[in-house]
Structure 1
Amino acid sequence: MDLRFFKKTLFSFCLVPVLANAQYTDVINSNRPGRAASAYAVGKNVAQMEMGLLYEQQDNASLNTDSNILGVDFAFRYGLLFESLEINVEGSYISQGITYTQTGTDDRLTDFSRSRAGLKYLVFDPFKNPENNKPNLYSWRANNVFQWKNLIPAVSLYAGATFNLGENPFYVGDPTISYRGAVATQSRLSPRFVLISNIAYDRIGTDFPELSYAVSVTHAFRDPKWSVFIENQGIKSDRYSDILLRTGVAYLISPDFQADFHLGSGFKNSPSRIFAVLGFSYRLDFHKDTLVPIEDQKSGENGKIKKNASKKKRKKKGKKDKDEIDF
């Protein structure tokens, strides 16, 4: 692999939906729109589906072909065992109609262009300690401007497998199972900006391993239901290499339902790519807080001081002092 490919793209930015600073959030935590994945999981006992309908115009100057692609992106995510662990299954199923411009003949390829499953685990969260996230009670500006400490990212690790089932025309000769590893980071640039970056090594063990990155920046408007993103993705493989740019919007319909739309294109002509995706994310929230609400607490729960505890302690100490006196 030519690592200089990545040095050329250090200036690039990418976008992904704005996410909160904890594993579980009161509103849906979606990886849509775009392809960069958040460092955070959906939360324990949260089941989430993310889906998009895509259309792509793809022309290849070197092969003299014009293509129209229709397909579906999908992802199923579930918070497993504890807050920082997530299992996910994701893929893309497409139908590509190809016209060979020199001969005028047509062909159609239909199969999975992406199919994988894996586990993601949050290994470091700079906001896990609430002391690091306390607001400044004396300055609105201090809470709403860039702070260097916010560049310290949350970091998660991903391990999984890519599947090539049957005679897939998009990956001829690849084994049924190959392996994939990735690192995802997430930083909060300000209360309204989030930076996410991914580095992944995919199809390990095949003749065409794939190295990729994605960088995404998301901005939430004053109306928190709306957000916009811009994303840069780079792919390097002997089979296919390109740099892709995406931008789009997301709208929060309800705390558990988000809709999104984005456009994108590549920068090559072998093939050239222009695409549009309309999607949504929906979650079934079975998450339960481990802390008891204050109004339901008994004395001493969740760190609450027991009623009359100090008075009883003083009485006990006074009695002990009397017992120690010898008249």
Structure 2
Amino acid sequence: MDFPSFKKALLLFCFIPMCGMAQYTDVINSNRPGRAVSAYAVGKNVVQAEIGLVYEQQDNADLNTDSNIFGTDIALRYGLLFETLEVVYEGSFISQNITFTQLGTEERRTDFSRNRLGLKFLIFDPFKDPEKNKPNLYSWRANNVFQLKNLVPAVSIYGGATFTLGDNPFYPGDGTVTPRVGVATQSRLSPRFVLISNVAYDRIGTDFPEWSYAMSLSHSFRDPKWSVFVEGQGFSGDRYSDILLRSGVAYLINEDFQADFHLGSGFKNDPSRIFAVLGMSYRLDFHKDKLIPIEDQKAVQGGKIKKNSAKKKRKKKKKGKKDKVDF
């Protein structure tokens, strides 16, 4: 994909409003399947592993090569310090067997195609205030159809580094540690549809910096254990440019364990890419709810209990005075 095309795609992305704090959920919050990452963190003191087994067929018409790739994707996430922050490691270790069809020779390349560590911090959550997001008790339709306000997304920012260790055959000449920054958004379009968008700038300061973006739409069925997704991911750089399309399914085995499978392909011939990924996500949940003093909790009517109690006391006092006068 040439850079002008990428700019058009990026402009389209920016027209989607980039507008939860990360909310701990009783059910695992996984970035799988796919590569687009959620705006939300896993929750304080939650440890989560997301692993995938990858097979890819990659052919390059320009170089007259055919190759098979076997690999493992892994993401390790930990809710650090507070609900809105997580530290995340993302890695892909692959072995690529390349056949040079004209020469009749073979070559194997084995190393990390992705190896990075960073922090993700939620800066805006449209669902932070429960008073503004209470369900409509009088209209099923109002709670289940798309509304314009649903486009307002949660937004998180990412800062980290990509590590290129040793003589990596996939990234020759890159520095050992290079910065990476990004933005992730997440919109709940309806109770069953979620839209996630990412933009990132990677390998900053090298001869081959890289822009990437991803947009993922997921849908859960009436049986909430099953969900499907479709995702587009693009890359733009002097070393590699392409658009990838993925689609797959996820199944929630229990509240801490999810399995998934997806297929994908690219749109270019230099190289062409077709891949399949089988994965799982599992968390160790050490999260503890923060205890809020009763005087700081919201009453059913939206007022503070402390104020309501004081108001009742004043009423009783006035009533007592009135009774004395009548007597």
Tell me the TM-score normalized by structure 1: 0.89
Instruction: Output aligned runs, 1:79-158, within 5 Å.
Output: 79-158=79-158
- Aligned: 1:32 with 2:32: yes
SS of aligned partner of 2:146: coil
Alignment partners' CA distance in 2, 1:61 and 1:97: 16
Match of 1:194 in 2: 194
Instruction: Output aligned runs, 1:151-166, within 5 Å.
Output: 151-166=151-166
Deviation at 1:291, TM superposition (A): 3.2
Deviation at 1:132, TM superposition (A): 2.3
SS of aligned partner of 1:114: strand
Match of 2:302 in 1: none
Alignment partners' CA distance in 1, 2:189 and 2:298: 33
SS of aligned partner of 1:204: coil
Alignment partners' CA distance in 2, 1:11 and 1:55: 32
Tell me the TM-score normalized by structure 2: 0.89
- Name the amino acid aligned to 2:230: I
Equivalent pair of 1:56/1:276 in contact (CA under 8 Å): yes
Alignment partners' CA distance in 1, 2:10 and 2:248: 21
- Aligned: 1:55 with 2:55: yes
CA displacement 1:59-95 (0-9 Å, x = unmatched): 0111111100000000000011110001000110000
Match of 1:239 in 2: 239
Match of 2:177 in 1: 177
Equivalent pair of 1:228/1:247 in contact (CA under 8 Å): yes
Match of 2:74 in 1: 74
Alignment partners' CA distance in 2, 1:106 and 1:51: 29
Match of 2:297 in 1: 302
Alignment partners' CA distance in 2, 1:278 and 1:232: 18
Match of 2:272 in 1: 272
- Name the amino acid aligned to 1:219: H
Deviation at 1:188, TM superposition (A): 1.0
Match of 1:15 in 2: none
Q: Say if 1:275 and 1:128 are closer, same or farther in 2 by CA, change over 3 A.
A: same
SS of aligned partner of 1:32: coil
Alignment partners' CA distance in 2, 1:6 and 1:221: 35
Match of 1:4 in 2: 5
SS of aligned partner of 1:142: helix
Q: Say if 1:8 and 1:77 are closer, same or farther in 2 by CA, change over 3 A.
A: closer
Q: What is the percent sequence identity of the aligned residues?
A: 73
Deviation at 1:300, TM superposition (A): 4.5
Instruction: Output aligned runs, 1:200-219, within 5 Å.
Output: 200-219=200-219
- Name the amino acid aligned to 1:302: Q
Give unmatched runs, 5+ long, in structure 2.
Answer: 14-19, 300-304, 323-327
CA displacement 1:87-113 (0-9 Å, x = unmatched): 000110000001110111111000000
Equivalent pair of 1:242/1:267 in contact (CA under 8 Å): yes
Instruction: Output aligned runs, 1:7-26, within 5 Å.
Output: 7-8=8-9, 23-26=23-26
How many residues are treated as equivalent by the alignment? 311
Equivalent pair of 1:116/1:161 in contact (CA under 8 Å): yes
Alignment partners' CA distance in 2, 1:8 and 1:317: 67
CA displacement 1:92-146 (0-9 Å, x = unmatched): 0000001110111111000000000000000111111112211111111111111
Q: Say if 1:49 and 1:90 are closer, same or farther in 2 by CA, change over 3 A.
A: same
Deviation at 1:217, TM superposition (A): 0.1
Equivalent pair of 1:291/1:302 in contact (CA under 8 Å): no
- Name the amino acid aligned to 2:297: N
Alignment partners' CA distance in 1, 2:121 and 2:156: 5
- Name the amino acid aligned to 2:257: F
SS of aligned partner of 2:143: helix
Deviation at 1:290, TM superposition (A): 1.0
Deviation at 1:319, TM superposition (A): 8.7
Alignment partners' CA distance in 2, 1:311 and 1:39: 43
